[in-house]
């Protein structure tokens, strides 16, 4: 080939040069900052269309995707013969059929200045929980408003939730300006209405802009249709707004430990994602909740050791001392550690179809910590339309309330307003493993610091030796009329003849005193069993054999009581009587009243019973007499 080429001659690059170009491009791309944002608002405000337009204008659509989009737009689109950009995001068949977003759709795109992950969240009230999921990791929220409709209920709800989740960068995108003739007075009126509402919920600043997701006005460049608007286009604003990672780097160092990295005998490090702050070798750190201190000797990553690590990086830290540190612990600055407590006030967003049951034990996951938590009756529920605080006994789907909660051990935390990682949590149902709520911790309760366990000289082991027996809880569960009280009474009589120290807690008797303030709703049943469990625990500490006879219909509460006891001390006895047999006995006439509607929330009729899946004993009363059952139970307890 000659030193010069003509226009007709192609210029070829070697494989090495191509690889070099790709490597250079990836390095440039790697060092771009990342902005995570959500689009939210009411139904049909144009959220999916806006994201589709962003993907289209940023050249993030492949040719085959574009061809499919054009074909789908003709078949199921809502824009006549023009491209329906919403179809790029609405992937579910149900979404395309109904023209609404149901699930959270995440999309990635990039410009020359920044990378983006956008979450398209549903506008329908039924799917508010999905909006909370998308907002939980976002730096910015684009609140869309249909210029023809103005500020709606879901506009207020999503704005309140975005602010509650901790999103401080709000864009008010007044969409579909093309359908109102790009009228400035319409835009100004909507901004005025929204400003009044935003101020009332604590949003001090937001960026308002007139757009058309369908036509592309003010999306990637200033539109000639809105000469009265002098602000930035949407993409210009997204490229320059400050992301959370930048502000997190200025906060005190915090790193929840995800796992202990020990590949061989010569290396031991603690791996995790740095939530806030920065760390470098030589820094004095403290491990919480134990409080042990040491110094960082090495910051290890896959690409080599670092001289400094900052918020958003995943690293492995090595210490100068062999101190106890494991998953769930938090590594922090030695002279500026976070708090640890076991009782809190929190805002809770309920996300399950089943209502919240105060007193029920749930898994609480915060950072890398997982503990058991119970929630008290809400202090109040928030009406997101009026911001009014309403009295509430529980929380239902999509409800937002404030309540106190307690955990079975201390957790390391910071208020959510200061640290989203150590202040935000989810609640998980122990039986179904479904996420039922998301929450934000406000502060620890003063009594969490003021109330401590008082050491006593006479131990529970001494109480047991004094009575010459091993403490235990015989937990009888079964339907009403199954024979629990009858068998429990026989068991106690037999143990008394053997000079055993016992106490019988019967469901009806307890409701005459300790639990006389409780009814028979699911929430009251949960609290009934929680109180009985606490009493039974105190009695085992005194060395007694405790016999309980309660329907205790829910597995979660029976498991909660089991967790209160020492290993092996909780013996679950299922008095297994079929519903038809129990109803035939009906010695108290309760089933008859329940069938006629006189008695509400009756277990087995209009309230569920969850039989034990793996009890220590199962007593079939259709083949065994009460006397035989009592003998079998005593033999199981005292071989």
CB 36 within 8 A of CB 137: yes
Residue 291 burial (CB count, 10 A): 10
Calpha distance 281→471 (Å, rounded): 52
Catalytic pick from 230, 459, 552, 607? Answer: 552
Could you tell me the two tokens for 327? 């998953």
Which of 77-81, 124-128, 129-133 has the weakest average pLDDT?
A: 77-81
- For the four alpha carbons of 532, 534, 537 and 542, in that order, the dihedral sign comes to negative
Q: Is 46 exposed, middle or buried (0-12, 13-18, 19+ CB in 10 A)?
A: buried
Calpha distance 87→78 (Å, rounded): 10
**Residue in the structure block whose two tokens are 């699930």:** 103
According to the model, what pLDDT value does residue 5 have?
43
According to the model, what pLDDT value does residue 78 have?
54
Which of 91-100, 244-253, 327-336 has the weakest average pLDDT?
A: 91-100
Which of 65-69, 281-285, 441-445, 454-458 has the weakest average pLDDT?
A: 65-69
Which among 172, 179, 173 has a CA at the least distance from the CA of 215? Answer: 179
Between 522-541 and 460-467, two packed helices, what is the crossing angle to 10 degrees? 70
Q: Kindly indicate the confidence band of residue 3, based on its pLDDT and cuts at 50, 70 and 90.
A: very low
- Cα separations in angstroms, 12 against 3, 4, 25, 98, 534: 13, 13, 19, 51, 80
158 CB-near residues (< 8 Å, 6+ apart): 40, 41, 42, 121, 123, 128, 131, 141, 143
For 281-338, write each residue's pLDDT tens digit.
Answer: 999 999 999 889 999 999 999 889 999 999 989 999 999 998 889 999 999 999 889 9
CB 195 within 8 A of CB 156: no
According to the model, what pLDDT value does residue 287 have?
93
For 162-216, write each residue's pLDDT tens digit.
Answer: 888 888 899 999 999 999 999 999 999 999 999 999 998 888 899 999 998 888 8
122 CB-near residues (< 8 Å, 6+ apart): 100, 101, 102, 103, 104, 128, 130, 131
Q: Higher-confidence residue: 78 or 489?
A: 489
Q: Is the pLDDT of residue 339 over 80?
A: yes
Q: Kindly indicate the confidence band of residue 454, based on its pLDDT and cuts at 50, 70 and 90.
A: low
CB 331 within 8 A of CB 257: yes
- Give the three-class secondary structure for 574: strand
Q: Is 134 exposed, middle or buried (0-12, 13-18, 19+ CB in 10 A)?
A: buried
Phi, psi angle pair for 26, to nearest 5°:
-65, -35
**What is the rounded average pLDDT for all residues in the chain?**
84
| Mean per-residue pLDDT, 45-67 | 68
The rounded Cα 289 to chain-centroid distance in angstroms is: 22
- For residue 552, indicate whether it is catalytic: yes
CB 36 within 8 A of CB 165: no
Which among 244, 206, 241, 157 has a CA at the least distance from the CA of 420? Answer: 244
**Residue in the structure block whose two tokens are 């039986």:** 431
- Give the three-class secondary structure for 4: coil
Q: Is the pLDDT of residue 275 over 50?
A: yes
CB 174 within 8 A of CB 145: yes
According to the model, what pLDDT value does residue 84 have?
55
Q: Kindly indicate the confidence band of residue 7, based on its pLDDT and cuts at 50, 70 and 90.
A: very low
According to the model, what pLDDT value does residue 425 have?
93
According to the model, what pLDDT value does residue 207 have?
94
Q: Is 41 exposed, middle or buried (0-12, 13-18, 19+ CB in 10 A)?
A: buried
Q: What angle is formed at CA 611 by the lines to CA 598 and CA 483, rounded to 5 degrees?
A: 65
CB 180 within 8 A of CB 69: no
DSSP annotation of 87 reads G
Which among 363, 279, 364 has a CA at the least distance from the CA of 315? Answer: 279
Q: Is the pLDDT of residue 10 over 50?
A: no
Calpha distance 93→331 (Å, rounded): 46
Q: Is the pLDDT of residue 341 over 70?
A: yes
According to the model, what pLDDT value does residue 126 have?
61
Q: Kindly indicate the confidence band of residue 440, based on its pLDDT and cuts at 50, 70 and 90.
A: very high
- For the four alpha carbons of 165, 167, 168 and 172, in that order, the dihedral sign comes to negative
Q: Kindly indicate the confidence band of residue 100, based on its pLDDT and cuts at 50, 70 and 90.
A: very low
According to the model, what pLDDT value does residue 263 have?
87
């Amino acid at each position: 080939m000659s030193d010069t080429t003509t226009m007709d001659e192609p210029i070829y690059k070697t494989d090495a040069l191509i690889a070099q170009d790709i490597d250079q491009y990836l390095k440039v791309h790697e060092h771009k900052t990342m902005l995570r944002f959500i689009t939210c608002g009411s139904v049909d405000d144009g959220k999916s269309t806006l994201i589709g337009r962003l993907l289209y204008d940023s050249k993030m659509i492949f040719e085959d995707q574009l061809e499919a989009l054009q074909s789908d737009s003709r078949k199921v689109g809502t824009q006549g013969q023009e491209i329906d950009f919403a179809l790029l995001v609405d992937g579910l068949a149900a979404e395309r059929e109904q023209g609404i977003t149901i699930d959270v759709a995440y999309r990635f795109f990039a410009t020359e200045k920044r990378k983006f992950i956008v979450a398209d969240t549903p506008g329908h009230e039924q799917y508010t929980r999905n909006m909370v999921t998308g907002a939980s990791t976002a730096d910015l929220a684009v609140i869309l408003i249909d210029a023809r409709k103005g500020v709606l209920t879901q506009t207020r709800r999503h704005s309140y939730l975005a602010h509650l989740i901790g999103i401080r960068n709000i864009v008010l995108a007044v969409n579909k300006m093309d359908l109102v003739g790009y009228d400035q007075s319409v835009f100004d009126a909507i901004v005025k209405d929204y400003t009044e509402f935003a101020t009332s919920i604590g949003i001090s600043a937001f960026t308002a802009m007139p757009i058309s997701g369908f036509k592309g006005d003010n999306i990637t460049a200033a539109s000639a249709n809105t000469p009265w608007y002098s602000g930035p286009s949407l993409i210009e604003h997204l490229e320059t707004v400050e992301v959370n990672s930048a502000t997190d780097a200025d906060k005190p160092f915090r790193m929840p430990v995800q796992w202990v990295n020990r590949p061989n005998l010569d290396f031991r490090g603690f791996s995790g994602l740095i939530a806030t702050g920065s760390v470098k070798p030589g820094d004095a750190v403290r491990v919480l909740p134990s409080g042990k201190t040491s110094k960082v000797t090495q910051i290890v990553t896959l690409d080599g050791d670092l001289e400094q690590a900052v918020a958003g990086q995943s690293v492995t830290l090595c210490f100068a001392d062999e101190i106890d540190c494991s998953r769930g612990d938090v590594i922090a600055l030695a002279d500026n550690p976070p708090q640890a407590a076991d009782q809190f006030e929190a805002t809770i967003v309920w996300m399950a179809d089943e209502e919240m049951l105060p007193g029920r034990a749930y898994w609480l996951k915060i950072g890398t910590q997982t503990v058991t938590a119970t929630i008290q009756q809400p202090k109040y529920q928030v009406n997101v339309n009026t911001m009014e605080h309403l009295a509430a006994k529980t929380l239902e789907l999509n409800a937002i309330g404030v309540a106190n909660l307690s955990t079975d051990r201390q957790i390391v935390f910071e208020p959510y307003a200061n640290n989203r990682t150590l202040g935000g949590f989810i609640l998980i149902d122990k039986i179904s493993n479904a996420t039922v709520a998301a929450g934000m911790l406000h502060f620890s309760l003063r009594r969490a610091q003021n109330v401590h366990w008082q050491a006593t000289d006479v131990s529970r082991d001494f109480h047991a030796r004094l009575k010459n027996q091993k403490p235990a809880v015989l937990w009888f569960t079964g339907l009403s009329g199954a024979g629990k009280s009858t068998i429990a009474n026989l068991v106690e009589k037999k143990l008394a003849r053997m000079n055993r120290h016992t106490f019988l807690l019967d469901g009806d008797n307890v409701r005459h005193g300790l639990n006389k303030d409780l009814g028979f709703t699911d929430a009251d049943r949960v609290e009934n069993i929680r109180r009985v469990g606490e009493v039974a625990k105190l009695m085992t500490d005194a060395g007694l054999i405790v016999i309980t006879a309660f329907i205790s219909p829910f597995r979660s509460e029976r498991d909660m009581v089991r967790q209160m006891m020492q290993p092996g001390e909780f013996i679950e006895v299922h008095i297994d009587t079929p519903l038809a047999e129990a109803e035939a006995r009906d010695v108290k006439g309760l089933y008859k009243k329940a069938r006629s509607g006189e008695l509400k929330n009756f277990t087995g009729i209009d309230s569920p019973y969850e039989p034990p899946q793996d009890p220590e004993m199962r007593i079939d009363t259709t083949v065994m007499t009460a006397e035989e059952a009592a003998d079998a139970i005593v033999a199981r307890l005292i071989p």
